[in-house]
Amino acid sequence: MDAISVIRTKRDRGELSDAQIDWVIDAYTRGEVADEQMSALAMAILLNGMNPREISRWTNAMIRSGVRMDFSSLPLPTSDKHSTGGVGDKITLPLAPLVAACGAAVPQLSGRGLGHTGGTLDKLESIPGWRALLSNEEMMDVLRGAGAVICAAGDGLAPADKKLYALRDVTGTVEAIPLIASSIMSKKIAEGTGALVLDVKVGSGAFMKNLDDARELARTMVGLGTTAGVNTVALLTDMSTPLGLTAGNALEVRESVEVLAGGGPADVVELTLALAREMLAAAGVHGKDPADALRDGSAMDHWRRMIAAQGGDVDAPLPVAREQHVIPAPASGVLTRLDAYAVGVCAWRLGAGRARKEDPVQAGAGVEMHAKPGDTVVAGQPLLTLHTDTPERYDYAIAALEGGIEVAPAGTAFTPNPIVLDRIA
CA 402, CA 386: separation in Å to the nearest integer?
Answer: 15
Closest to 94 (Cα-Cα) out of 232, 240, 242, 254: 254
- Specify the DSSP element, H or E, that contains 183: helix 177-191
Q: What backbone torsions phi and psi does residue 317 show, to the nearest 5 degrees?
A: -60, 140
Q: What is the DSSP letter of 330?
A: S
Q: What backbone torsions phi and psi does residue 319 show, to the nearest 5 degrees?
A: -60, 145
**387 three-class SS:** strand
CA 53, CA 51: separation in Å to the nearest integer?
Answer: 6
Annotated catalytic residues are: 82, 161, 168, 183, 187
Closest to 369 (Cα-Cα) out of 379, 357, 361, 377: 377
Amino acid identity, position 123: K
Strands (E), 276-381: 323-328, 333-338, 366-369, 376-377
The CA-based dihedral angle spanning residues 120, 123, 126, 128, taken in that order and rounded to the nearest 10 degrees: -40
Q: What is the DSSP letter of 380?
A: T
